[in-house]
Structure 1
Amino acid sequence: MSDNSSLDDYILSHISAEPEHLRRLYRHTHLRHLYPRMCSGHLQGRMLSMLSAMISPRRVLELGAYTGYSALCLAEGLAPDGHLHTIEVDDEMEDELLELFATAPGGDRITLHIGDAEELIGQIDEVWDLVYIDANKRRYVEYLDLVLPRIRPGGFIIADNTLWDGKVTDTVKNHDAQTVALDRFNTYVASRTDLETVILPLRDGLTLIRRR
């Protein structure tokens, strides 16, 4: 979102309403969890829902569930026989996520996997229509290389946080591991002729990738 709060308020009041169960989840995340900014929220959530609906994927893979907000948004656009698999590394989130998916609209179409994404990606025997990357920022290139062979031609990848508060524009000044890794990811994606790429300056940066 922009730095102009009045413009942000205008945008939120002129887009589709945030579903009530997601509004409650967003508030719960802010009240009960560290780093609540990691939760997608109203604008990005509606964007993810719409992108999923436009693609109408049968199989979706999410890397990084956090509190489950983005998974529920992506599940809104699934094809009638579609299913979403989400991987979360923090095992302390397992019970909360299982309870959420058991009760929230669309949660019955989501399977939770707990563990390291790099270990689990190859264990899920699917061909993906859509992959959402929002896990360890230092490993985005490795995630991409692991999922690409399993994405159908014409399939999509969405990568979150790819602008990292604008830090990626100056990795000399901002040389922390996350910034350097995200810049590496952006450069790597841009160099690949088998991918079409657009970066949206939405919140912390959202990259849309299509496999040719």
Structure 2
Amino acid sequence: MYSADDAQLYADRHTSPESPLLARLNRETHVQLLHARMLSGHAQGRLLSMLSHMVRPRRVLELGTFTGYSALCLAEGLAEAGELHTIEQNPELESRIRRYVAEAGLTGNIHIHIGDARRIVPELAETWDLVFIDADKINNDTYYELVLPQVRPGGFLLIDNVLWGGKVLDGYPVKPSDKDTQAVRAFNAKVQADERVENVLLPLRDGLLLVRKR
């Protein structure tokens, strides 16, 4: 029998490599920043790129830029003259994000917003083809309800960390003080019952929820 780690290593070896620029950003993030696990990383980054290439979106929205890795991956599949808006609440990350976006030659395609997504999203007069939600988990439902009306029919949402380290699984003891786990559990259950969408939960990395608006 193989282990989950063995399967992941095999999958990584049979997944197209990240670009040298993404590899450098990946390493720099892990060396220089706390909470580097928040970065999407190789396998998930290639999936985001693949999904974006499949959709060929004109307008992409990302909530939670971190160091910009996932934004660069999603931008790989943009339609001609397509644009990606990404929102990051931590101003200390802005210069790093802008530096890598510039190095990728995507300054004209990726628009960086620093601040609270709950304030910024309503100000963006766009109809989204693809939305990636990877921000604070306790507000997943707030972000979902905020952006869903702006997603075109047939458009897609991707929500990260929906397995939340396995804490959402049945039988896992959750403390009353663990508001994040409670929020992720409730959000997953809500989307499963939401007749406005179709959804598939992929057990990739920390769980990625794929949602299609009907």
Relative to the length of structure 2, the TM-score reads 0.94
Compared with structure 1, are the counterparts of its residues 3 and 93 closer, same or farther at alpha carbon in structure 2 (3 Å cutoff)?
Answer: farther
Q: What letter corresponds to residue 70 of structure 1 in structure 2? A: S
Q: What letter corresponds to residue 200 of structure 1 in structure 2? A: L
Deviation at 1:172, TM superposition (A): 6.7
Per-residue deviation, residues 25-47 of structure 1 (Å, max 9, x unmatched): 00000000001111111100000
Match of 2:73 in 1: 73
Matched, 1:147 2:147: yes
Question: Unpaired runs of 5+ in structure 1?
Answer: none
Match of 1:194 in 2: 196
8 Å contact from structure 2 (residues 65, 87) kept in 1: yes
Matched, 1:120 2:112: no
Matched, 1:209 2:208: no
| Within-5 A mapping of 1:8-19 | 8-19=8-19
**Which shows bigger deviation, 107-116 or 168-177?**
168-177
8 Å contact from structure 1 (residues 21, 104) kept in 2: yes
Match of 1:83 in 2: 83
8 Å contact from structure 1 (residues 76, 106) kept in 2: no
Question: Unpaired runs of 5+ in structure 2?
Answer: none
Q: What letter corresponds to residue 158 of structure 1 in structure 2? A: L
Distance in 2 (alpha carbons) for counterparts of 1:151 and 1:124: 12
Distance in 2 (alpha carbons) for counterparts of 1:172 and 1:4: 19
8 Å contact from structure 1 (residues 56, 78) kept in 2: yes
Relative to the length of structure 1, the TM-score reads 0.95
SS in structure 1 at match of 2:16: coil
Distance in 1 (alpha carbons) for counterparts of 2:213 and 2:4: 35
8 Å contact from structure 1 (residues 71, 86) kept in 2: yes
CA RMSD of aligned residues (A): 1.5
Paired residues, what number? 211
Per-residue deviation, residues 84-142 of structure 1 (Å, max 9, x unmatched): 00000001111111122111244541000000111111011100000000001000000
4+ runs deviating over 6 angstroms: none
Distance in 1 (alpha carbons) for counterparts of 2:9 and 2:173: 32
Match of 2:163 in 1: 163
Compared with structure 1, are the counterparts of its residues 18 and 153 closer, same or farther at alpha carbon in structure 2 (3 Å cutoff)?
Answer: same
Per-residue deviation, residues 27-70 of structure 1 (Å, max 9, x unmatched): 00000000111111110000000001100000000000001000
